[in-house]
């Protein structure tokens, strides 16, 4: 077991969440009669480069099944984020109609639709066929592929190096990190720009976001570690922005080592805040398991208290992070009878592991729960606004991360 970036042997555990099924493996009613495969969910931190990573990449293909149920376009907040980004990137990088934009893990075209609308040619690559088909139906050229050196060499062969490469929330999902970054280096035009967004490990720790850990997330980055990983492939990060998405993310702007961009002051600022937090020290990573256990215990105490008091609890948002939280906490349908989700691709199915049914929003008005537990806490403003009507019958909202809170 070696670090997937620097190959140092891994021996320091960061978090052990036991075993769980892949978090996007929702079950049909027929599948309830069959067993599920549970994989260990254990993270290590590399004592050399501080990359936090899953101990072993389980079957990569098992994680990306054809019925993979995450469609980016079902979140309004996420669409707005994508649109703002596209407008900013076009202005900052002076992209024109003859520019070429490549997005890796382009999902259902949630972002490239805004690039295409500005008349700029673009290509998406996306490993899950179901979401790629939705993008293709919108007229966005999308290839069902994984990205890496091999794909980048094909682009070079077609003289299609990109002026902008977008890799949002994909770095964590990459099994062979060095092959992926080598591909970015190859696919980028000489003065091209690469933007990469990923959840910031510093926020994960400070906000106790252990529920963002799942099998499909192989790596967890600080800016310190990300800069090292890019520099090893002669890519230079020249700007960083702190975003509120996914509980606190970083957006890196990078180019070739020798590109014309000067480094902004923001890079030194974020690196300093990481160092001040202790991220270049092993002890920083040692206390996180206890933080996760506190979240789990508080949630169980809350659910048991409502059960004993005869009050009704429902959950909202069948997101991957909810599955990690519910499975690690051992919550089943006796404590949480159903989860509401807006996506028709998830309704009438069951959460992996916990097997809690996913239903449409109408269930809330019908059952009038006393509490609605918001599982995707990163979307809590959007969700409390959308479900404000539960207050008509005295319903309240609850979040479990970073701490149990009645809103």
Token pair, residue 85, equals 């980004």
The answer to whether the CB of 168 falls within 8 A of the CB of 201 is no
Alpha helices in 36-104 (DSSP H): 60-63, 76-93
Helix (H) or strand (E) holding 250: strand 249-256
Name the residues that contact Zn ion, by CB under 5 A: 3, 5-6, 8, 46, 48-49, 51
Q: Which is nearer to Zn ion, 46 or 164 (CB)?
A: 46
In whole angstroms, how close is the CB of 180 to Zn ion at the nearest point? 15
Q: Please report how close the Cβ of residue 198 comes to Zn ion at its closest, in angstroms.
A: 16
The torsion of the CA quartet 21, 22, 24, 25, rounded to 10 degrees, works out to -60
Give me the least distance between CB of 13 and Zn ion, in Å please: 15
Cβ at position 104, least distance to Zn ion in Å? 23
**Residue 4: phi, psi to the nearest 5?**
-75, -5
Give 179 or 370: the residue with its C-beta nearer to Zn ion. 179
CB 50, CB 280: distance < 8 Å: yes
- What's the token pair of residue 6? 């620097």
Q: Which is nearer to Zn ion, 49 or 267 (CB)?
A: 49
Joined tokens for residue 91 = 């202005």
Choose between 42 and 242: whose C-beta lies nearer to Zn ion: 42
The least CB distance from residue 53 to Zn ion, in Å, is 8
Q: Nearer to Zn ion by C-beta: 46 or 95?
A: 46
Please name which of 201, 225, 215, 401 lies closest in space to residue 285, comparing C-alpha atoms: 201
State the Cα–Cα distance between residues 136 and 124, nearest whole angstrom: 9
How far, in Å, CA of 253 to CA of 26, rounded? 35
d(CA 12, CA 282): 9
* Pick 12 or 28: Cβ nearer Zn ion: 12
Q: How far is the CB of 200 from Zn ion (least distance, A)?
A: 18
Alpha-carbon distances of 119 from 108, 116, 399, rounded to whole Å? 19, 5, 42
Question: Given the complex with Zn ion, which of 10 and 102 has the nearer CB atom?
Answer: 10
CB of 7 to Zn ion, least distance (A): 7
The residue among 48 and 178 lying less far from Zn ion, judged by its C-beta, is: 48
Is the torsion defined by CA of 162, 259, 167, 43 positive or negative? positive
Q: Measured from the CB atom, is 93 or 231 closer to Zn ion?
A: 231
Rounded CA-CA distance 270/205 in Å is 15
> Is 218 within 8 Å of 42 (Cβ atoms)?
no
Of 224 and 345, which CB lies nearer to Zn ion in the complex structure? 224
Q: DSSP 3-state assignment of 40?
A: strand
The minimum distance between CB 5 and Zn ion, in angstroms, equals 5
Neighbours of 235 (CB within 10 A): 23
Alpha helices (H) in 118-232, listed in sequence order: 129-137, 149-157, 177-187, 201-206, 223-231
How far is Cα 59 from Cα 309, in angstroms, rounded to an integer? 44
Contacts for 346 with CB less than 8 Å, ≥ 6 apart: 26, 69, 318, 358
CB of 221 to Zn ion, least distance (A): 11
Question: Minimum CB separation from Zn ion for residue 315, in Å?
Answer: 37
């Amino acid at each position: 077991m070696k670090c997937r970036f620097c190959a140092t042997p891994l021996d320091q555990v960061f978090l052990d969440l036991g075993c769980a099924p892949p978090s996007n493996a929702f079950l049909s009613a027929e599948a309830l009669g069959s067993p599920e495969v549970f994989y260990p969910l254990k993270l290590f931190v590399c004592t050399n480069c501080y990359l936090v990573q899953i101990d072993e990449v389980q079957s990569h293909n098992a994680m990306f099944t054809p019925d993979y149920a995450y469609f980016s376009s079902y979140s309004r907040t996420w669409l707005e984020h994508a649109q703002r980004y596209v407008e900013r990137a076009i202005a900052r990088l002076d992209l024109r109609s003859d520019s070429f934009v490549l997005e890796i893990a382009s999902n259902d075209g949630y972002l490239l639709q805004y690039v295409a609308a500005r008349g700029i040619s673009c290509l998406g690559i996306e490993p899950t066929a179901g979401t790629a088909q939705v993008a293709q139906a919108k007229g966005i050229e999308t290839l069902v592929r994984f990205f890496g050196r091999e794909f980048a060499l094909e682009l070079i062969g077609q003289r299609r190096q990109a002026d902008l490469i977008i890799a949002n929330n994909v770095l964590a999902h990459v099994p062979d990190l060095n092959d992926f970054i080598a591909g970015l280096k190859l696919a980028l035009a000489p003065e091209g720009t690469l933007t990469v967004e990923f959840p910031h490990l510093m926020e994960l720790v400070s906000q106790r976001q252990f529920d963002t850990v799942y099998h499909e997330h192989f790596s967890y980055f600080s800016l310190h570690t990300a800069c090292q990983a890019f520099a090893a492939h002669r890519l230079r990060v020249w700007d960083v922005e702190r975003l509120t998405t996914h509980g606190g993310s970083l957006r890196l702007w990078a180019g070739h080592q020798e590109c014309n961009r000067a480094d902004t002051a923001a890079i030194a600022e974020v690196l300093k805040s990481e160092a001040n937090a202790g991220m270049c020290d092993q002890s920083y990573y040692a206390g996180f398991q206890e933080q996760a256990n506190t979240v789990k215990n508080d949630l169980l105490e809350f659910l048991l208290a409502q059960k004993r008091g005869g009050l009704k609890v429902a959950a909202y948002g069948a997101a991957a992070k909810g599955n990690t939280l519910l499975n690690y906490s051992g919550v089943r349908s006796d404590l949480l009878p159903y989860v509401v989700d807006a996506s028709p691709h998830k309704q009438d199915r069951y959460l992996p592991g916990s097997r809690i049914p996913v239903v449409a929003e109408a269930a809330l008005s019908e059952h009038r729960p006393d509490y609605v537990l918001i599982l995707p806490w990163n979307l809590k403003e959007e969700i409390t606004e959308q479900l404000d009507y539960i207050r008509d019958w005295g319903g309240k909202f609850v979040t479990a991360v970073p701490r149990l809170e009645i809103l």
